[in-house]
Amino acid sequence: MSTLEIRDLHVDVANPDESAEPIHILDGVDLTVNSGETHAIMGPNGSGKSTLSYAIAGHPKYEVTSGSITLDGENVLEMSVDERARAGLFLAMQYPVEVPGVSMSNFLRTAATAVRGEAPKLRHWVKEVKGAMTDLGIEQAFAERSVNEGFSGGEKKRHEILQLALLHPKIAILDETDSGLDVDALRVVSEGVNRYRDQDNGGVLLITHYTRILRYIKPDFVHVFVGGRIVESGGPELADELEASGYERFTAKAQA
């Protein structure tokens, strides 16, 4: 059993105007994610959802000004980005970056070696990668392409879930993994997330604008994020309310 615990988290982001003060984004976030649980965070644009994911992962432009993040009791904020990954945190980014000149196969094996602490045996690794790619409907030739270079939106998101399948983190943070996916790709990606949760007993923190992905990935908890904090939490029925009525009630609550 693993636990990601976030307490009274406040985060600033660097101002594009370097002479100006940082911009305050997160305003006291409290959240606990356990192994085997799926938490959906939903909120309007600009509410701070992605900032939360970057703060957990250790993005250098995001400064935690107060509060705590722990994984199994260990202080995440004292870890470097690579140490967080080795500890069991994984971030699927909303906008995965291109890495020209680095093949997918080399990237994946290097990442697995770093996280596992030793290089996977080649024969076993090839079988493992082929199986994960088949599960996600990815052609084998995909492995020799440069990381995300010239990929479609759907290909980038499948690659993120391929990493998830091979790295076996304790907690997976998925930042708008459904963005830009057609119906078929959404189903395949969702099946990959469900497979990770069921086989690895991983905890999932799913950040999304829309309820459509929740038809495939059933959340145990739904959190409404407005104004840099969680203003209400509940079960799947909360997502149904958002689908029917939008964020107006929650925006008013945040401003009260």
Mean pLDDT of 96-110: 91
> CATH: 1.20.140.10, 3.90.79.10, 3.40.50.300, 3.40.50.150. Which one for 3-96+169-255?
3.40.50.300
Say how many C-beta atoms besides its own lie within 10 A of residue 100's C-beta.
9
pLDDT tens string 112-123: 999 998 999 989
Determine the Cα–Cα distance for residues 176 and 31; give it in Å rounded to an integer.
Answer: 18
Q: Domain coordinates of the chain in residue numbers?
A: 3-96+169-255
**Angle, in degrees to the nearest 10, between helices 104-116 and 153-167:** 30
pLDDT beyond 70 at 171 = yes
pLDDT tens string 1-59: 899 999 999 999 988 888 889 999 999 999 999 999 999 999 988 889 999 999 999 99
Beta strand segments in 94-214, E: 99-103, 146-147, 171-175, 203-208
* Percent over 70 (pLDDT), the chain: 99
pLDDT beyond 90 at 190 = yes
Read off the pLDDT band of 85 (50, 70, 90).
very high
The pLDDT assigned to 17 comes to 83
pLDDT beyond 90 at 255 = no
Tokens of 172: 């997976």
Tokens of 17: 């105007």
The residue with greater pLDDT, 143 or 207, is 207
The residue with greater pLDDT, 210 or 74, is 74
The pLDDT assigned to 220 comes to 96
pLDDT beyond 70 at 256 = no
pLDDT beyond 70 at 142 = yes
The pLDDT assigned to 139 comes to 87
The per-residue DSSP string of 45-60 comes to TTSSHHHHHHHHHT-T
Nearest one of 69, 29, 65, 3 to 223, comparing CA atoms: 29
